[in-house]
Amino acid sequence: MQYAVAYALSSAAGLRALFALAVASLAVHAGWFHPPADLAWLDSWPVTIALLVLAALELLADKVPLLDHSLHVAQSVLKPAAAAILVAGSLHGLPGPALVSLVVLGALNALGIHAAAASGRGVSTSFTGGFGNPIVSLLEDIAALGLSVTAFLAPWLGAIVAVVVGIIAIRVLVGVRAMLFAKARANVGD
Query: Residues near 58 by Cβ (< 8 Å), separated by ≥ 6?
Result: 16, 17, 18, 19, 71
Percent above pLDDT 90 for the chain: 36
How many angstroms separate the CA atoms of 8 and 155, rounded?
7
Lowest mean pLDDT among 7-11, 19-23, 38-42, 128-132: 128-132
* Predicted TM-score of the model (pTM): 0.83
Distance of CA 177 to the CA centre of its chain: 21
CA dihedral defined by 56, 51, 90, 40, rounded to 10 degrees?
-170
Residue 36's pLDDT band, with cuts at 50, 70 and 90, is confident
pLDDT digits over 71-82, tens only?
878 888 899 999
> Which one has a higher pLDDT value, 189 or 18?
18
Indicate the average pLDDT of the chain: 86
Angle value at C-alpha 124, between 119 and 126, nearest 5 degrees: 95
Full domain range(s) for residue 111: 2-189
CB count, 10 Å around CB of 6?
26
Confidence at residue 190, expressed as pLDDT on a 0 to 100 scale: 60
Q: Are residues 142 and 153 in contact, defined by beta-carbon separation less than 8 angstroms?
A: no
pLDDT digits over 131-178, tens only?
888 888 888 899 899 889 999 899 899 889 888 878 887 787 777 778
Lowest mean pLDDT among 40-49, 119-128, 137-146: 119-128
- Rounded to 5 degrees, what are φ and ψ at 91? -115, 25
Confidence at residue 79, expressed as pLDDT on a 0 to 100 scale: 93
| Domain total of the chain | 1
